[in-house]
Structure 1
């Protein structure tokens, strides 16, 4: 029963995140981490966001497996694969058109809650999320702080593809995401257990 609950929670977290990313993509806005990098590259290449997101995360599974454990790596791989598939699916079955400010707020909040659910159930969305979980487990640096730093770096890179308003609205999405993760995410028991194992 506990295992079923955990996997259902991971699916729910991916659905919330995929919907949030769809809202942001529909308004040509960005979000943090590997997803943000994927959004930027999707404007510069012929690959879709879902394809790029899956490919960009491949190198990070090695870090996850060696530093954070097999279980975490497997759950993260499943979460990344599911989010990539949902992102492709939502492009064909979902049509929502909102003002960029609304997209930024709702998209940031949805991605924030999705990440919080994944963090609580020993999973992530790869890339910088893996780094955030690793720093939290080993050095007790809150995941919200790491994601905030990542947000700033992605926003600086976004100058290449966004205008001033796009940057401002993306910053609003970043702040909403970081606010949710910062207020609702609490390091779970597995974070403390892993710290002991890797000491």
Structure 2
């Protein structure tokens, strides 16, 4: 078994542009595929993506368009507190994810998809995608910005912050959607946020 050591700040190296591009591309593709599983099942998720899904399902509007619009108010906070690099990367990631999720069904369809399996795949793939985006100094939504601020300034894991917000969102969803849909959706959110909570840390580790 490998042991782990914490890397002091002075020895950390910033990602190169090429590393950022490939890391963000993989993260966005993973998240888009995961969300495609979720939207095919008609389930929900948390954070601004969950809010966008609720609006999309109730209105019939495109998820991608709604997702992009609901995130706009958070960029001022991100710019002020987390800097232009994080904000611009996040804006680009949200825009790209919005397009990918709307286009993904053109090349990915399901004849049969078990709801439990689909929900698990959503949670794992989207959680993995979020990790990739976080580790390259970006986010996939406004409430993700709030979660990262809480982690950096209050020492609370980002995944736990997001899970608390999800609980509140799903409490509202119980009044709008069938109970089964909300329970499956909550199951997926627990998996997604568990992936983030157990794997995303502000400090960086390497195997020794």
When normalised by structure 2's length, the TM-score is 0.87
**Is 1:38 aligned to residue 61 of structure 2?**
no
The question of 1:177 aligning with 2:163 is answered: no
Which residue of 2 is the match for residue 7 of structure 1?
21
2:160–2:197 contact (8 Å) kept in structure 1: yes
Q: In structure 1, which of residues 93, 101, 126 is the aligned counterpart of residue 116 of structure 2?
A: 101
Q: Does residue 73 of the first structure (1) align with residue 87 of the second (2)?
A: yes
Give the number of the structure whose residues are more often helix, by fraction: 1
Contact conserved, 2:79 with 2:86, CA < 8 A, in 1? yes
What's 1:29 paired with? 43
* Structure 1 residues 47-97: Cα deviation after superposition (integer angstroms, max 9, x where no partner): 211000000011111111011100000110110011001011112221024
Once the two structures are TM-superposed, the CA of residue 188 in structure 1 deviates from its matched residue by 4.2
The structure 1 segments of at least 4 consecutive aligned residues displaced by more than 6 Å after TM superposition are none
Q: Across the two proteins, how many residue pairs are aligned to each other?
A: 189
How far, CA to CA, are the matches of 1:13 and 1:102 in structure 2? 21
Q: Which has the higher contact order (CA 8 A, sep 6+)?
A: 2
State the SS of the aligned residue for 2:174. Answer: helix
Contact 1:136 1:143 in 2 (8 A): yes
Conserved? CA contact 1:120–1:188, under 8 Å: no
Higher mean C-alpha displacement, 130-139 vs 65-74 = 130-139
1:117 and 2:132 are equivalent in the alignment: yes
Q: Tell me the TM-score normalised to structure 1 length.
A: 0.90
Aligned residue number for residue 135 of structure 1? 150
Cα displacement string for residues 2-32 of structure 1 (whole angstroms, at most 9, x for unaligned residues): 2211121111111111111110110011111
Displacement, 1:114?
0.8
d(CA) in 1 for partners of 2:77 and 2:141? 10
RMSD across aligned positions (CA): 1.4
For structure 2, the residue ranges without an aligned partner over 5 or more in a row are: 1-14
Give the Cα separation in 1 of the matches to 2:24 and 2:88.
Answer: 12
8 Å CA contact 1:120, 1:186 repeated in 2 = no
- SS state at 1:44 partner: helix
